[in-house]
Amino acid sequence: MAEARPTEYRGSIHQRQKELMLKWYERLNEAAETGTPPTASLMISGNCVELLEAFGAVPIYPEVNALQLAIRHQSLEPILAAEELGYAPDNCAYVKADIGCYLKGITPTGGKLPKPDLVLCNFVGCNTYVKWFEHTAELTGSKLYVLDVPFSREQNPSQADIHYVVRQLKEVVTLLEEITGRSFNYDRFVEAVRCSEQVEALWSQIKHLARRAPSPFDAYFDAITLMGPLYVYRATREGVDFFRAALEEMQAKVADHKGVYDQENFRVVIEGPPPYPYFRTFRDMFAKWKACAVASTYSTVGGLWEFGARHDANHPFESVALHMLAQNVSNRNYLQRYEQIRRYIEEWNADGLIIHFVKSCRLFSAGQGDMRDYVTKTLGVPTLYIESDLEDPRYFAEAQTRNRIDAFFEALEHSKLTARAV
């Protein structure tokens, strides 16, 4: 078995991120107990957490709660509870897990989660999210605001798009002033935007280290470990410090040629969220082949920065709007995602693409067959397509998934070897 164990990322960063996430849950617990700090629910992708910082408010990310449960194998109970309420087997299981937890009073840490002072739906492409937050508001009785972000239908957002989002951001400011009774601290807002700018630069540098062979980290499985702090602390000093430390640790590994595996056999790009209920099992299936993810689309849900985009403290509102419009994978259209994958495969020189279809998320998955068609037939790059779910343990067929992954890497290996033989 020793061979098959994943050499999981275990730097001091790993510890630090645990501490940061616990601290976050403690603040949420405090909010639940005392009513302060003020809180607002947000969608991870294309969020405007910088606005909350300006009010000293803390974000609640239902997605993070849902995935924490799944990783801890606790998602099925709340999912069933939600289905008893009438949610369909084919509804997004993130939503069902979150609603189910609310109904049953389950939280990832056992601590309390506050009733959000504002349910702020930053609508960036995910229609399910509008329903989700509408239902949350209906259940909790919290105030709901849907910040409508125009979907990316042309190469770049228009001035009208940016103007529209900025107008709504300013409505949110007024709303938060009413709800929190605090006044909008512009300097703190600018400072938050500046922090995001720096975190994005650091995170981007880390992503680019994966272009080296061997890659110092797995840009799917390890990237996910770093994503918690990215979401919760992006607009804070703590975030900047965390990612600076992370970068240094990675650079050190690169310096003495340390990779994820003693020998990196395969480099792959992974598309789609992971099967959180079987996170470790799934990783082992790749570790067995010493296959390292060098890039992933899922790690750009929070933001797509490796191609140069950043927040900009000189134009705080506009750059927040731009981030929501164009710099997160959820609000970018399918063809833009194809392009992102193409660049990963070429610039991060990968051997193949893994598409993980998750039934919950049609935003990610609807049309992945066409994506597969594009990558295999147009780009001529080997692609593996597997299906399960990111939250619902009932849809992971372990034997079948392992069989496909084994077959895929057998084939890659066989091709490499026969190519060498010729």
Partner 1 sequence: MFTFERSFEECQDLIADLSLERVHRWKDQHGGAGVIGYFPVYAPVEIIHAVGMLPVGLSGGGDRLDIQHADARFGSFICSIVKTTLEMGLREHLKVFDGILFSSICDSARNLCFVLKRNFPDLYVDFLHLPHNPSSAASIDFLRGEYQRLIKELERVGGKQIAETNLRQAISLYNHNRHLIRDLYSFRAQSPHLLRAWESYVLVRAGNFLPVEEHNSLLEEALNQLAQRQGKPRDSIRVVVEGAFCEQPPLDLIKLVEDAGCYLVDDDFVIGQSWFVEDVPRDADPVYALAESYVNRAVYSSVRHDFRAPRWEGLADKVKRSKADAVLFLIAKFCEPAYFDYVLFKKKLEQISVPHLLLEFEEKQFTFDRVRTEIETFVESLVFD
Partner 2 sequence: MRLVAGIDCGSNFTKAVLLAQKSSQGSSLLGKGRVKSGINMEEAAQNALGAALENAGLTRDQVHYVATTGFGRYGVGFRDIQITEITSGARGAHHLFPASRCVLDIGGQSTRAISMGESGKVRSFKTNDKCAAGSGMFIVRAAKYLEISIEDVGKVSLQATNPQPISSVCAVLAESEIINHVSAGVSVENILRGIHDSLADRAAGMLKRVGMEGEMTLIGGVALQAGMVKALQEKLGAKVNVPPDCDYVCALGAALLGHKRLAARDSLASAQLVS
Partner 3 sequence: MRIAAGVDVGSTQTKAVIMTDNGDRIILARALVDTGANVRKAAENAFLLACRKAEIPQTDVGFVVGTGYGRYNISFGNAQLTEISCHARGAHFVCPGTRTVIDMGGQDAKAISVGRGGQVLDFVMNDKCAAGTGRFLANAADVMGIGLDEIGPLSQRATRPVRIATVCTVFVESDILSYLAQGKKGEDIMAGVHLAIAKRTLSLARRVPIEPDITMTGGVARNIGMVRALEEVLGMKMQVSPDAHFMGAIGAAVFALEKMDQSFEFSAWRPEHAAGSGH
The one of partner 3, partner 2, partner 1, none whose footprint includes residue 275, by CB under 5 to 8 A per kind, is: none
Nearer to partner 1, 163 or 280 (CB): 163
Binding string, residues 394-413; x marks residues near partner 2 by CB under 8 A: x--x-x--------------
Among 30, 83, 134, 264, binds partner 2 (CB under 8 A): 83
CA nearest to 292, candidates 315, 318, 259, 320: 259
Cα separation, 125 vs 153, in Å, equals 11
The one of partner 3, partner 2, partner 1, none whose footprint includes residue 147, by CB under 5 to 8 A per kind, is: partner 1
Nearer to partner 2, 78 or 157 (CB): 78
Least CB distance from residue 151 to partner 2, whole Å? 32
Cβ atoms of residues 151 and 333 within 8 Å = yes
Annotate 319-366 with DSSP letters as a single string: HHHHHHHHSSGGGS-HHHHHHHHHHHHHHTT-SEEEEEEETT-HHHHT
Among 188, 342, 372, 379, binds partner 3 (CB under 8 A): 372
386 Cβ partners below 8 Å, 6+ apart? Answer: 354, 355, 356, 357, 401, 404, 405
Task: Answer yes or no whether residue 80 interacts with partner 2 by CB under 8 A.
Answer: yes
341 Cβ partners below 8 Å, 6+ apart? Answer: 269, 271, 297, 353, 371, 375
Binding piece for partner 1, criterion CB under 8 A, among 7-15, 218-226, 306-314, 370-378 = 370-378
Cα separation, 256 vs 250, in Å, equals 10
User: Residue count at the site for partner 1 (CB under 8 A)?
Assistant: 51
- E strand or H helix at 317, and its extent? helix 316-326
Among 21, 51, 97, 147, binds partner 1 (CB under 8 A): 147
The one of partner 3, partner 1, partner 2, none whose footprint includes residue 168, by CB under 5 to 8 A per kind, is: partner 1
- Name the amino acid, one letter, at 101: C
Q: Which of residues 380-399 bind partner 3 (CB under 8 A)?
A: 382-383, 385, 387, 395, 397, 399
Task: Answer yes or no whether residue 366 interacts with partner 3 by CB under 8 A.
Answer: no
Among 77, 84, 138, 248, binds partner 2 (CB under 8 A): 84
Cα separation, 191 vs 53, in Å, equals 9
Q: How many helices (H) and strands (E) does the chain have?
A: 16, 8
User: Residue count at the site for partner 3 (CB under 8 A)?
Assistant: 38
Q: Which of residues 46-85 bind partner 1 (CB under 8 A)?
A: 85
Binding string, residues 127-146; x marks residues near partner 1 by CB under 8 A: xx-xx--xx--x-----xxx
Nearer to partner 3, 160 or 421 (CB): 421
Structure tokens that stand for 93 in this block: 């299981």
Cα separation, 19 vs 71, in Å, equals 17
The one of partner 1, partner 2, partner 3, none whose footprint includes residue 4, by CB under 5 to 8 A per kind, is: partner 3
The one of partner 1, partner 3, partner 2, none whose footprint includes residue 282, by CB under 5 to 8 A per kind, is: none
CA distances from 291 to 150, 224, 225, 260, 347 (A): 38, 17, 18, 9, 18
What is the rounded end-to-end Cα distance, in angstroms, of the chain?
A: 34
- β-strand partners of 388: 358
CA nearest to 182, candidates 174, 190, 192: 174
Task: Answer yes or no whether residue 1 interacts with partner 2 by CB under 8 A.
Answer: no
> Can you say how many angstroms the Cα of residue 42 is from the centroid of all Cα atoms in its chain?
13
Query: Residue numbers of the site for partner 1 (CB under 8 A)?
Result: 85-88, 90-92, 95, 123, 125-128, 130-131, 134-135, 138, 144-148, 150-151, 153, 158, 160-161, 164, 167-168, 171, 333-335, 338, 357, 359, 362-363, 365-370, 373-374, 385, 387
Query: Residue numbers of the site for partner 3 (CB under 8 A)?
Result: 1-5, 265, 284, 288-289, 369, 372-373, 376-377, 382-383, 385, 387, 395, 397, 399-400, 402-404, 406-408, 410-411, 413-415, 417-418, 420-422
Query: Residue numbers of the site for partner 2 (CB under 8 A)?
Result: 80, 83-84, 86, 394, 397, 399
